[in-house]
Amino acid sequence: MKFVIIGGDAAGMSAASRAKRIVPEMEVIVLEKSEDVSYSACGMPYNIADADRDIDDLVVRTASVFRNKQGIDLFTGCCAEAIDVKNGAVTGTIDNRESFRFFYDRLLIATGGQPIIPDLPGFDHPGVVALKSLADGRRIKNYIKDNDVKKAVIIGMGYVGLEMAEALRARSIEVEMVKPGPDLLPWMPRELAAEVRRELDANQARLHLGCEIKGIDKTADHLHIVCNDRILAADMVLVAIGIEPNSQLAADAGIETGVGSAIAVNHKLQTSNEAVYAAGDCADAYHVVTGQKTWIPLALRANRAGWAVADNVCGKETSLEGVAGTAVFKVFDLEVARTGLSLEESRRYGFEPVDVTINSRSRAHAHPGAQPIWVNLIGDRRTGRLLGTQMVGREGVAHRINAAAVALQAQMSVKAFSETDLAYAPPFGPVWDPLLTAANQLLKKMT
Ligand SMILES: Cc1cc2nc3c(=O)[nH]c(=O)nc-3n(C[C@H](O)[C@H](O)[C@H](O)COP(=O)(O)OP(=O)(O)OC[C@H]3O[C@@H](n4cnc5c(N)ncnc54)[C@H](O)[C@@H]3O)c2cc1C
């Protein structure tokens, strides 16, 4: 059995390692176009925040460990350019010079995603950067140091942009953020988004909402971000407007793509060609609330899907139920989290959503250090099902969201969720946990 994997990060290396563990004699070949494998992309903003930390601290396992200790045939600098599904082969070039052709019995496409860069003038300037790969992280750190960056503009206000605002402020860099839409975190109830806004304001991250970007001009000493109604000057521009799946290779081979152009996979992670699997940010998934296809590129799914592919390739039949879109991120001292559907998504998927937003506390009444926690809970009036939860607070948000994620996975009703036996002690929450208080209030509204 020859198992070929394209892409050597979270999904690809998880699959390679697990396949070798289950069937040590299997020939496992990984083709990775960059020089970096198996690193924590999620840790990059926190590494960039610290000028003294080496970016390579984020490497989880080096290429030589995969090769010499695990027996994986890992080829870096190896870009896959075409998949010949008829003959079961992958072709491409090594170090932009020599061509290669590898035959496979089973193939995994784990090519991840790539940052979206607007097709506008000036975005090809070296001071205009994006953060996706470890090479990007290295480039940004070097650019800040070599150009003595004092002022940065971040285009986009998603979680990578917000984490980078904190990172750059930690380096005493002035930060302005800009986006064309009118709302910060539009999927969030306005009370919760207002808390995030307050935190950004308190940390001198200046927001420009509703600003259409026309291009970037380079003057003698600055980059000028030209918007419809203003011009912002910066030493560096970070583009953080999202990613798109790297699915072209699959599409060119006649493999079906679906939601957001991600590679369409079944519960076993098989594509429309049964010898070819896809996992991670390049592939879609089923949503546990809607039962429909979705594309939510996050790390746990990539690792888990890589494992599941290895199991299936090794004959251990495995199906993955899906994702709830559970995510958490930090905005300076705030924890921001979500799982399941937002109100707008609930409507779009045909539910009859009812929601409640409460303001509770992270610790018991009168316990020192208690901080406010905002909880938004959404239920379906027709079926009584829990549909989604969002939370913002200074502590106790990041792990609390997981209780709601488990409830969604179990397709719980709001009533069943309100009856769950959650832990209590004064330093960790009120006796009625904020999630239970929200569920009780939502129940009243739904009936
Ligand atoms: C700054 C940042 C912060 C993040 N924070 C979080 C977080 O807090 N929580 C969370 O859940 N997720 C987070 N993520 C997302 C998470 O990192 C991704 O979901 C995860 O890395 C996806 O893994 P992957 O293996 O699918 O794709 P990738 O990590 O993108 O890896 C794909 C690999 O394929 C290679 N490749 C692509 N095309 C080819 C080709 N043609 N030939 C050969 N090789 C190819 C690429 O070079 C790359 O190494 C963050 C991402 C970033 C960028």
Is the pTM above the cut of 0.85? yes
pLDDT of residue 219 exceeding 80, the answer is no
Q: Sorting pLDDT into bands at 50, 70 and 90, what band is 365?
A: confident
Quick: pLDDT tens for 97-130. 899 999 999 999 999 999 999 999 999 999 999 9
Cα of 269 vs centre of ligand 1, distance in Å, is 17
Collect all residues with Cβ–Cβ distance below 8 Å to 47 and sequence separation of at least 6.
Answer: 53, 55, 57, 58, 137, 141
The number of the ligand 1 atom at minimal distance from the alpha carbon of 136 is 53
Average pLDDT value for the chain: 97
Cα of 354 vs centre of ligand 1, distance in Å, is 35
Degrees to nearest 5, angle at CA 182 with 181 and 184? 90
Pocket of ligand 1, candidates 9, 140, 265, 269: which has the most ligand atoms within 8 Å of its Cβ, to mutate?
9
- Structure token digits, residue 97: 């010079």
In single-letter form, the type of residue at position 155 comes to: I
Cα of 264 vs centre of ligand 1, distance in Å, is 18
- Measured between its terminal Cα atoms, the distance across the chain in Å is 57
Catalytic: 78?
A: no
Cα of 302 vs centre of ligand 1, distance in Å, is 8
Q: Sorting pLDDT into bands at 50, 70 and 90, what band is 254?
A: very high
pLDDT of residue 54 exceeding 70, the answer is yes
In single-letter form, the type of residue at position 245 comes to: P
* Ligand 1 site residues, Cβ closer than 6 angstroms: 6-12, 31-34, 41-42, 44-45, 79-80, 110-113, 131-132, 160, 246, 249, 280-281, 297-300, 302
What letter would DSSP give residue 70? T
| pLDDT value, residue 220 | 65
| pLDDT value, residue 438 | 98
Pocket of ligand 1, candidates 18, 30, 33: which has the most ligand atoms within 8 Å of its Cβ, to mutate?
33
Collect all residues with Cβ–Cβ distance below 8 Å to 110 and sequence separation of at least 6.
Answer: 5, 6, 7, 8, 9, 10, 11, 12, 15, 278, 279, 280, 282, 302, 306
Q: Helix 10-22 crosses helix 299-313 at what angle (to 10 degrees)?
A: 30
Burial readout 344-361 (b: 16 or more C-beta within 10 A, e: otherwise):
ebbeebebebbbbbbebb
DSSP secondary structure letters along 213-273: EEEEEE-SS-EEEEESS-EEEESEEEE-S-EEE--HHHHHTT--B-GGGPBP--TT-B-SS
- Closest by CA position to 293, among listed 254, 264, 270: 264
The number of the ligand 1 atom at minimal distance from the alpha carbon of 329 is 8
Helix (H) or strand (E) holding 387: strand 386-393
How far apart (Å, rounded) are the C-alpha atoms in residues 409 and 417? Answer: 12
How far apart (Å, rounded) are the C-alpha atoms in residues 381 and 169? Answer: 44
Quick: pLDDT tens for 142-185. 999 999 999 999 999 999 999 999 999 999 999 999 999 999 99
Q: Sorting pLDDT into bands at 50, 70 and 90, what band is 218?
A: confident
Which neighbouring-strand residues pair with 257? 263
- Structure token digits, residue 382: 């027709």
Q: Sorting pLDDT into bands at 50, 70 and 90, what band is 96?
A: confident
CA dihedral sign, ordered 47, 50, 55, 58: negative
| pLDDT value, residue 437 | 98
| pLDDT value, residue 146 | 96
